[in-house]
A and B are shown apart, each in its own frame.
Chain A
Amino acid sequence: MSIEIKNVTKYFGNFRAIDDISLKVETGELVALLGPSGSGKTTLLRIIAGLETADCGSILFSGEDAREKKTKDRNVGFVFQHYALFRHMTVYDNIAFGLRVKPAKIRPSEEKIRTKVRELLKLIQLEWVEKRYPWQLSGGQRQRVALARALAVEPKVLLLDEPFGSLDAQVRKELRQWLRRFHDDLNITSLFVTHDQEEALEVANRIVVMNKGKIEQVGTPDQVYHNPVNSFVLNFLGNVNLFHLRVEDGKVYMGNKEIQLPGVEQHNIKAAKLYIRPHQFEVKRLSSGTSSLKAVVKFVNPAGATVKLDLKTESGDSIQAEISQEEFTALKLQKNDQVYVNPKEITFYDFDI
Chain B
Amino acid sequence: MAGGLPHLKIGSAVNRSSRPGHLRTEPGPVKWILIGIAFLYLGILLILPLVCILTNAFNKGIQMYWQAISEPDALSAIRLTLLTALMAVPLNMIFGIAASWAIAKFDFRGKNFLLTLIDVPLSVSPVISGLIFVLIFGAQGALGPWLIKHGIKIIFAPPAIILTTIFVTFPMVARELIPIMKAQGNDEEEAAITLGASGFKMFMLVTLPNIKWGLLYGVILCNARAMGEFGAVSVVSGHIRGLTNTLPLHIEILYNDYRFTAAFAVASLLAFLAIVTLIAKSLVESGIDREIQLTQKDNGEKSG
Interface residues of chain A, those whose CB is within 8 Å of chain B, are 49, 51, 71-73, 76-78, 80, 82, 84-88, 97-98, 101-102, 134-135, 139, 142, 149-150, 152-153, 166
Q: How far is the CA of A206 from the CA of B294 in the complex (A)?
A: 39
List the A side residues contacting B194 at CB < 8 Å. 49, 51, 71-72, 76-78, 150
Contact with B198, one of A51, A86, A101 (Cβ below 8 angstroms): A101
List the A side residues contacting B104 at CB < 8 Å. none
Q: How far is the CA of A137 from the CA of B27 in the complex (A)?
A: 42
Q: How far is the CA of A64 from the CA of B301 in the complex (A)?
A: 39
Contact with A101, one of B201, B210, B298 (Cβ below 8 angstroms): B201
User: Which of these binds chain A: B80-88, B185-193, B216-224?
Assistant: B185-193
Does B37 belong to the interface (CB within 8 Å)?
no
- In the assembled complex, the CB of B208 is this many whole angstroms from the nearest CB of chain A, namely 10
Nearest chain A residue, comparing its CB with the CB of B199: A72
- In the assembled complex, the CB of A229 is this many whole angstroms from the nearest CB of chain B, namely 34
Nearest chain B residue, comparing its CB with the CB of A166: B302
List the A side residues contacting B295 at CB < 8 Å. 87
Query: What 0/1 readout, one digit per residue, does chain B (109-145) give for beta carbons within 8 Å of chain A?
Result: 0000000000000000000000000000000000000
Contact B187 A84 (CB under 8 A): yes
Q: Enumerate 30 A-B pairs (CB-CB under 8 Å) in ascending A order.
A: A51-B190, A51-B193, A51-B194, A72-B194, A72-B196, A72-B197, A76-B194, A78-B194, A80-B187, A82-B187, A82-B298, A84-B187, A84-B188, A84-B190, A86-B188, A86-B192, A86-B205, A87-B210, A87-B294, A97-B192, A98-B195, A101-B192, A101-B205, A102-B196, A134-B298, A135-B297, A142-B301, A149-B191, A149-B195, A150-B195
Contact B190 A97 (CB under 8 A): no
Nearest chain A residue, comparing its CB with the CB of B296: A135
Contact B190 A101 (CB under 8 A): no
Contact A101 B197 (CB under 8 A): yes
Nearest chain B residue, comparing its CB with the CB of A75: B196
Contact with B195, one of A51, A82, A97 (Cβ below 8 angstroms): A97
Contact with B191, one of A73, A86, A139 (Cβ below 8 angstroms): A86
Interface centre among B195, B205, B294, B301 (most CB of A within 10 A): B195
Contact B298 A87 (CB under 8 A): yes
> How many inter-chain residue pairs (CB < 8 Å) link A and B?
74
Given pairs A80-B190, A98-B196, A101-B205, 20 additional interface contacts (CB within 8 A): A49-B194, A72-B194, A72-B198, A77-B194, A82-B302, A84-B188, A85-B188, A86-B206, A97-B195, A97-B205, A98-B195, A101-B196, A135-B294, A135-B298, A142-B301, A149-B195, A150-B195, A152-B195, A166-B301, A166-B302
List the A side residues contacting B188 at CB < 8 Å. 84-87
Interface residues of chain B, those whose CB is within 8 Å of chain A, are 187-188, 190-198, 201, 205-206, 209-210, 294-295, 297-298, 301-302, 304
Q: How far is the CA of A142 from the CA of B188 in the complex (A)?
A: 14
Q: How far is the CA of A86 from the CA of B301 in the complex (A)?
A: 15
- In the assembled complex, the CB of B186 is this many whole angstroms from the nearest CB of chain A, namely 9
- 7 pairs of A and B residues whose beta carbons are closest in the complex: A84-B187, A98-B195, A78-B194, A84-B191, A101-B197, A88-B209, A135-B297
Q: How far is the CA of A246 from the CA of B301 in the complex (A)?
A: 51
Nearest chain A residue, comparing its CB with the CB of B194: A78
Q: How far is the CA of A84 from the CA of B295 in the complex (A)?
A: 11
Q: How far is the CA of A150 from the CA of B192 in the complex (A)?
A: 10
Q: How far is the CA of A1 from the CA of B205 in the complex (A)?
A: 30
- In the assembled complex, the CB of A138 is this many whole angstroms from the nearest CB of chain B, namely 8
List the B side residues contacting A150 at CB < 8 Å. 194-195
Nearest chain B residue, comparing its CB with the CB of A72: B196
List the A side residues contacting B187 at CB < 8 Å. 80, 82, 84
List the B side residues contacting A101 at CB < 8 Å. 192, 195-198, 201, 205
Nearest chain A residue, comparing its CB with the CB of B191: A84
Nearest chain A residue, comparing its CB with the CB of B195: A98
List the A side residues contacting B294 at CB < 8 Å. 87, 135
List the B side residues contacting A78 at CB < 8 Å. 190-191, 194
List the A side residues contacting B195 at CB < 8 Å. 72, 97-98, 101, 149-150, 152-153
Q: How far is the CA of A349 from the CA of B294 in the complex (A)?
A: 53
Q: How far is the CA of A78 from the CA of B297 in the complex (A)?
A: 23
Q: How far is the CA of A45 from the CA of B185 in the complex (A)?
A: 19
Q: How far is the CA of A98 from the CA of B206 in the complex (A)?
A: 12
Nearest chain B residue, comparing its CB with the CB of A49: B194
List the B side residues contacting A77 at CB < 8 Å. 194
Nearest chain A residue, comparing its CB with the CB of B189: A84
Interface centre among A78, A87, A150 (most CB of B within 10 A): A87
Q: How far is the CA of A101 from the CA of B196 in the complex (A)?
A: 7
List the B side residues contacting A73 at CB < 8 Å. 196
List the A side residues contacting B201 at CB < 8 Å. 101
- In the assembled complex, the CB of A152 is this many whole angstroms from the nearest CB of chain B, namely 8
- In the assembled complex, the CB of B51 is this many whole angstroms from the nearest CB of chain A, namely 42
Q: How far is the CA of A142 from the CA of B195 in the complex (A)?
A: 17
List the B side residues contacting A152 at CB < 8 Å. 195
Q: How far is the CA of A93 from the CA of B259 in the complex (A)?
A: 60
Q: How far is the CA of A263 from the CA of B192 in the complex (A)?
A: 59
Q: How far is the CA of A243 from the CA of B104 in the complex (A)?
A: 50
List the A side residues contacting B206 at CB < 8 Å. 86
Nearest chain A residue, comparing its CB with the CB of B206: A86
Q: How far is the CA of A150 from the CA of B196 in the complex (A)?
A: 10
Q: How far is the CA of A66 from the CA of B187 in the complex (A)?
A: 22
